């Protein structure tokens, strides 16, 4: 018997798609596919013959429960958070609660967004080889939401025979969801988002004006939980201010980079992870705070800081440009602008405040992995004209059911801004909860609850 997912044929002659592998993980049947997509979508439509245009590879995995291999199940496509994040690599069926739930009803498609994972990866070395900074900036522009959703729609039409699918977007995946609903709503049966509804109209400065106070509150909460760490942090910051501490790979460990350890504060168990990292900071005696002599920081601590502050290659270069939409004007380092108005976040302030998910110019001067992106990012920071990502009129008239999990205390995507947007998106519904942090989908029954809410309204009735 030939299974449903393999029997699909290309809709157009010359379609380049390949079944790369087929295998099992514990509790999972896996198929891997690759398809060619245009580097530049300008002037092209998803599903059309892309001809001789410059192409990149788009990779995806398709998961199915072994007991459903021969069943013609509806498709659910996962929009990964980020930006610049590859699709999940599950260890088994239970390693991601949402995957375990989804496989009861769906075949799950896990794409690697362009530039990530196995989809023509961008890293420091490949980016440095592209050309001059202007060419690099033009290339980087092709890895944002307008291109990503065009890739996904092309994949739906060419690899999956044009079958509509359900989408699930986590974090930045919610941004992609609204972009998809704006551009190709005909491809979607229903949408789910978790912690990821952008404010429309988009404004990075507005985002950071909301999130910097949350960064401060999270730092205060951390010190309240582990008061002994306040002094440890101050002693470490004082030591780093002398500017002669280096991480194992050679990057300087500055106070700014130390502060960026707060990037995970909107997820669990980040407080505990930082507490135990700080616990290993000092080499003298029993590891207590040194009271005399030069403060020496341990190699395990430095290695831990390096691991905790490293990121995938596209995450920071694209971070503020995910808010660029149409004629929005230059972004011009929005997070740094807001930070400059908040002296409590200064490197010399005590107690030291940690920063969250925010991009700063120093990153592209101090981190070797980001140095090749420096000039291109500076060029894009001055650019004020971008593709139109969100079609407000189309979103207002949206007919595709959208169920959003809005985390009330979300440190990264402000809940009030999410709800404001949803109030202007047709057929949308919000489940507001303070039970989970930004990563609730990975740790709880969030997706199962969203499915139940959608079923109760009949939003999934056409799937079965």
Mean pLDDT of 267-275: 96
pLDDT at 368: 94
pTM of the model: 0.95
- Gyration radius from the chain CA atoms: 23
pLDDT at 463: 83
Quick one: 335 exposed, middle or buried, by C-beta within 10 A (0-12, 13-18, 19+)? buried
Confidence of residue 341 (pLDDT cuts 50, 70, 90): very high
Looking up tokens 């909301």, which residue turns up? 210
Cis, bond preceding 269 (omega within 30 deg of 0): yes
pLDDT one-digit tens code per residue, 310-329: 978 899 999 999 999 999 99
CB atoms within 10 A of CB 265: 25
pLDDT at 106: 98
Mean pLDDT of 449-464: 92
Percent of the chain topping pLDDT 90: 91
Nearest alpha carbon to residue 166 among 83, 106, 97: 106
In angstroms, the Cα distances linking 51 to 13, 19, 60, 156, 462 are 10, 21, 22, 18, 35
Confidence of residue 202 (pLDDT cuts 50, 70, 90): confident
- Using CA atoms, how far apart are residues 399 and 265, in angstroms rounded to an integer? 36
Domains of the chain: 17-202+388-463 (3.40.50.1820), 204-381 (no CATH)
pLDDT at 15: 47
pLDDT one-digit tens code per residue, 183-197: 999 999 999 999 999
pLDDT one-digit tens code per residue, 411-451: 999 999 999 999 999 999 999 999 999 999 998 899 999 99
pLDDT at 17: 57
Please provide residue 318's backbone torsions phi and psi, each rounded to the nearest 5 degrees. -100, -5
Mean pLDDT of the chain: 94
pLDDT at 50: 84
Residues 6+ apart with CB under 8 A from 203: 323, 328
Give the pairing of strands 188-194 and 75-79: unpaired
> Is pLDDT of 3 > 70?
no
What the block records as the tokens of 81 is 């958070």
């Amino acid at each position: 018997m030939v299974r449903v997912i393999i029997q699909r044929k290309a809709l157009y002659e010359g379609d380049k798609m390949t079944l790369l592998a087929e295998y099992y993980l514990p509790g999972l049947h896996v198929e891997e596919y690759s398809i060619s997509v245009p580097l530049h979508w300008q002037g092209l439509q998803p599903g059309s013959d892309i001809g001789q245009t410059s192409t990149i590879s788009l990779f995806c995995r398709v998961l199915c429960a072994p007991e459903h291999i021969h069943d013609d199940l509806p498709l659910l496509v996962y929009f990964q958070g980020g930006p610049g994040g590859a699709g999940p690599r599950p260890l088994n069926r239970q390693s991601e609660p949402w995957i375990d739930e989804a496989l009861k009803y769906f075949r799950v498609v896990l794409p690697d967004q362009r530039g990530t994972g196995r989809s023509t990866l961008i890293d420091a070395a490949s980016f440095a080889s592209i050309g001059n900074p202007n060419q690099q900036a033009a290339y980087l522009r092709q890895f944002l939401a307008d291109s990503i959703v065009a890739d996904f729609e092309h994949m739906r039409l060419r690899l999956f025979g044009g079958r509509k699918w359900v989408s699930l977007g986590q974090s930045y995946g919610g941004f992609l969801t609204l972009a998809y609903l704006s551009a190709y709503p005909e491809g979607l049966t229903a949408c789910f988002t978790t912690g990821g509804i952008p404010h429309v109209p988009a404004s990075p400065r507005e985002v950071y004006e909301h999130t910097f106070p949350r960064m401060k509150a999270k730092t205060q909460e951390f010190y309240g939980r582990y008061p002994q760490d306040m002094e440890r942090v101050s002693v470490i910051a004082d030591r780093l201010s002398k500017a002669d501490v280096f991480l194992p790979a050679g990057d300087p460990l500055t106070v700014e980079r130390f502060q960026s350890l707060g990037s995970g504060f909107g997820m669990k168990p980040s407080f505990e992870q930082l507490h135990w990292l700080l616990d290993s900071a000092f080499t003298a005696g029993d590891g207590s705070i040194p009271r005399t002599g030069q403060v020496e920081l341990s190699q395990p601590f430095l290695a831990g800081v390096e691991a905790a502050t490293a990121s995938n290659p596209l995450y920071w270069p694209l971070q503020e440009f995910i808010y660029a939409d149409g004629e929005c004007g230059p972004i011009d380092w929005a997070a740094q602008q807001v930070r400059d108005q908040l002296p409590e976040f200064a490197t010399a302030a005590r107690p030291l405040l940690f920063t969250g998910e925010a991009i700063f110019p120093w990153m592209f001067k101090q981190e070797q992995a980001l140095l090749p992106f420096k000039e291109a990012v500076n060029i894009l920071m001055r650019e004020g004209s971008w593709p139109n990502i969100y079609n407000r009129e189309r979103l207002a008239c949206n007919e595709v059911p959208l169920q959003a999990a809005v985390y009330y205390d979300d440190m990264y995507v402000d809940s009030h801004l999410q709800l404001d947007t949803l109030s202007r998106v047709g057929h949308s519904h919000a489940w507001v909860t303070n039970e989970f942090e930004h990563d609730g989908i990975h740790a709880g029954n969030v997706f199962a609850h969203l499915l139940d809410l959608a079923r109760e309204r009949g939003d999934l009735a056409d799937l079965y």
